């Protein structure tokens, strides 16, 4: 038995499996597909509590990608710069909690890519409309570059630009479809990357929209508590006789 490459309408069959983009970067084709309904339901609740907004760049330009966040920290941009904040600046309230369905998917994806423990404290939610793009950049606002980044694509497809460690290196183009999950870490963590302008037909489930979830460890690394051994000069309390 072989898998048909096209369905009865002539559409290509969804891909599955793992594709390596770098030695520590891969696409997990369709990993989120079976869970898309649950993810979208969770996102709809989050975006009622923290609606999508167009942030200002430090240069005063309105970003074409609309954003929201969930989890302990959220990525924000304004005239003062880029940073992670525990508070949604629109309401002065903490960001909504990270739904379990999202956290569990991010952990599974990281593990499949070879990162055994990933405990994200930030989930940035990007919303693209046709014509919207994200120019080439590095993600360097996080405290710990040893932690991977997990990204989940939903809705309209996108051409992801996967560059090198310098801006001048010409990026590879990788198509990302609804349900694809990408993991980047280790030596690939600081690669330049971006998203080409979104084009094509509206998505059957989401309409003319692409949603990308980016999970990160933005704050301090989770390190085991440091145990200080008793010093030789500290008098030791002995058990009473």
Q: Enumerate binding residues for ligand MD3 (CB under 6 A).
A: 124, 126, 134, 139, 149, 151, 184, 188-189, 191, 193, 195, 212, 214
Binder of residue 124, out of Fe ion, ligand MD3, none (CB less than 5 to 8 A by kind): ligand MD3
CB of 27 vs ligand MD3, minimal distance in Å: 11
Q: Which is nearer to ligand MD3, 39 or 230 (CB)?
A: 39
Binder of residue 216, out of Fe ion, ligand MD3, none (CB less than 5 to 8 A by kind): none
Chain-centroid distance of CA 142 in Å reads 13
106's tokens: 């991010």
Q: Which is nearer to ligand MD3, 42 or 161 (CB)?
A: 161
Report d(CA 30, CA 176) in Å as an integer. 10
* Contacting Fe ion within 124-163 (CB under 5 A): 139
Q: Which is nearer to ligand MD3, 68 or 212 (CB)?
A: 212
Contact letters (x/-) for Fe ion, 2-41, by CB under 5 A? ----------------------------------------
Q: Which is nearer to Fe ion, 156 or 214 (CB)?
A: 214
CB of 214 vs Fe ion, minimal distance in Å: 7
C-alpha dihedral, 95 to 99 to 104 to 110, nearest 10°? -30
130's tokens: 């046709």
CB of 91 vs ligand MD3, minimal distance in Å: 21
Q: Which is nearer to ligand MD3, 68 or 151 (CB)?
A: 151
Contact 87, 172 (CB under 8 A): no
- The DSSP-derived string for 123-182 is EEEEEE-TT--EEEE----SS-TTS-EEEEEEES-EEEEE--SSTTSPPEEEEE-TT-EE
Binder of residue 147, out of Fe ion, ligand MD3, none (CB less than 5 to 8 A by kind): none
C-alpha distances in Å from residue 152, one per residue of 178, 191, 221, 239 = 8, 18, 22, 57
> Of all residues in this chain, which one has the CB nearest to ligand MD3 in the complex?
212
Helix axes 100-112, 36-49, angle to 10 degrees: 130
> Of all residues in this chain, which one has the CB nearest to Fe ion in the complex?
139
The strand order across the sheet containing 193-195 reads 134-137, 193-195, 158-162, 172-176
Binding site for Fe ion (CB under 5 A): 139
């Amino acid at each position: 038995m072989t898998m048909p490459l096209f369905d009865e309408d002539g559409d290509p069959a969804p891909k599955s499996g793992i594709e390596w983009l770098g030695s520590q970067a891969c696409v997990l084709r369709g990993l989120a597909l079976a869970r898309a309904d649950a993810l979208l339901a969770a996102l709809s609740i989050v975006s009622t509590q923290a609606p999508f907004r167009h942030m200002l760049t430090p240069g005063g330009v309105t970003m074409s990608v609309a954003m929201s966040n969930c989890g302990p920290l959220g990525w924000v941009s304004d005239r003062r710069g880029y940073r992670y904040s525990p508070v949604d600046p629109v309401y002065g309230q903490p960001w909504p909690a990270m739904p379990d369905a999202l956290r569990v998917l991010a952990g599974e994806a990281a593990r499949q890519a070879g990162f055994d423990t990933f405990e994200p404290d930030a989930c940035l939610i990007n919303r693209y409309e046709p014509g919207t793009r994200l120019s080439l950049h590095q993600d360097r606002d996080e405290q710990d570059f040893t932690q991977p980044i997990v990204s989940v694509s939903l809705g309209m497809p996108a051409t992801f630009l996967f560059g090198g460690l310098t801006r001048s290196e010409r990026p590879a183009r990788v198509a990302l479809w609804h349900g694809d999950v990408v993991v980047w870490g280790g030596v690939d963590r600081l690669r330049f990357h971006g998203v080409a302008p979104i084009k094509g037909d509206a998505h059957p489930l989401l309409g003319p929209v692409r949603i990308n979830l980016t999970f990160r460890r933005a704050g301090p690394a989770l390190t085991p508590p440091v145990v200080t051994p008793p010093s030789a000069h500290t008098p030791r309390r002995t058990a009473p006789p």
